[in-house]
Amino acid sequence: MNDTFKSGFVAIVGRPNVGKSTLLNQIIGQKIAIMSDKAQTTRNKVQGVYTEDDAQVVFIDTPGIHKPKHKLGDFMVKVALNTFREVDLIYFVIDAEAGFGRGDEFIIEKLKNVETPVFLLINKIDLISKEKLVELIEKYKELLDFAEIIPISALEGDQVPNLLAETKNYLDEGPMYYPKDQITDHPERFIISELIREQVLQLTREEVPHSVAVVIEGIEKNPKTEKLTIMATIIVERSTQKGIIIGKQGQMLKQIGMRARKEIELLMGSKVFLEVWVKVQKNWRDKEHYLQDYGFNQDEY
């Protein structure tokens, strides 16, 4: 290890669906944040830990900042905005293809009130022309004095090594907060529940994805075979949503379980038997005791 060791915390912020979770997974090299084409996929802060010989960076992937429509939405936006004052550096990620939007304007107004350095990351550059990229850079330069402006492709990994090198330049000397082989501070139950929820997001449409929470009821390991038995409950708000998730003759639930099991086995490195139920909890996103039960603790923020 080098004599000088740097460390710090970096928040990844932006509108919903701009590629924040994709970037985190690309940096860490392993899936710890779920990805989906649905907006507002990330509901809680997901911490990813990136460690090299001379530095450790703790990344906080935040919920997409949007106009809330219920208490869960209020919680998500509060989580994202509160990270601004907790970190050493902020990545503000925008979608190059979508271009400038009112959501970006709202976030920039908030960023004007922080002293933390802000990197503008223009994501999905593989989907636009160089001319449009230049126009975007000029547009955003007028709105905020960014510490760095770095075009990237989070999905392809383009310019991500350069981004990490620049990030280290903005960090101070500091300790190694986590063991060098640790990639997240979230417990296994959280990651497993997110992997199941990811499959619901990918396989269902309309109002169903946003009405879903996943609770891990239990994890048991067979001491002889090392096989894990995981019991999980998918929470929805209406009986019609329950019917959609279960599907005709249980086919949708079977597909969700099968796909989630493969992801969980990759995470855990062992065989998994996954048992999934579906339960209706009416309007849970607007009831604080349910939000707390399902891991969205308002008091922490």
The closest of 141, 136, 11 to 64, measured between CA atoms, is 11
The model's pLDDT over 121-140, given as tens digits with 9 standing for 90+, comes to 999 999 999 999 999 999 99
| 170-225 per-position pLDDT tens digit | 999 999 988 888 888 667 787 888 889 888 888 887 556 567 888 888 888 888 88
Residue 70 has pLDDT above 50, yes or no: no
Cα separation, 64 vs 13, in Å, equals 7
Helix, strand, or coil here: 230? strand
Average pLDDT, the chain: 82
> Backbone phi, then psi, for 115, in 5-degree steps?
-95, -10
- Residue 42 clears pLDDT 50, i.e. is over it: no
Is residue 141's pLDDT more than 60? yes
- 204 or 168: which leads in pLDDT: 168
| 162 closest CA partner among 151, 146, 147 | 151
* CA-closest candidate to residue 36, choices 53, 50, 20: 20
| Residues linked to residue 218 through DSSP beta bridges, in sequence order | 231
Place of tokens 């309007």: 283
* pLDDT of 79 above 50: yes
The predicted structure's pLDDT at residue 288: 60
Helix (H, G, I), strand (E, B) or coil at 271: coil
pLDDT, residue 39, reads 45
Q: Which long-range contacts (CB under 8 A, 24 or more apart) does 60-63 make?
A: 60/9, 60/10, 60/11, 60/12, 60/86, 60/87, 61/12, 61/20, 61/21, 61/23, 61/24, 61/33, 62/11, 62/12, 62/13, 62/20, 63/16
Query: Helices 239-246 and 251-268, interaxial angle, to 10°?
Result: 70
Both structure tokens of 98: 């979508």
